[in-house]
Amino acid sequence: MGTITLSISGMTCGNCVKHVEKALKGVQGVQEVAVDLAAGTAQVVGNFLNDAAPLIRVLNEEGYPAGVKAAA
């Protein structure tokens, strides 16, 4: 099990958050999703071998450009 933090663009409201959560939860292996609208991030926990590509792809397809958030 791993955790990936994504940086997500284009989220402007609570409905965006729900849409992003639903899209991420639809990716095989995802167990938990926590989206932070103010920070523009999502923390994703699951069995996806720390490969963010499927997560990023599904968000890009939904109109929310995303990438792996660099560690501070």
pLDDT by residue for the chain (72 residues), tens digit each?
889 999 999 999 999 999 999 999 999 999 999 999 999 999 999 987 778 999 999 999 999 999 999 765
pTM of the model: 0.92
User: Which domains are delineated in the chain?
Assistant: 2-68 (3.30.70.100)
* 40, 20 Cβ separation under 8 angstroms: no
Please give the structure tokens belonging to residue 13.
């409201």
* 6, 12 Cβ separation under 8 angstroms: no
* 6, 56 Cβ separation under 8 angstroms: yes
CA distance 8 to 33: 13
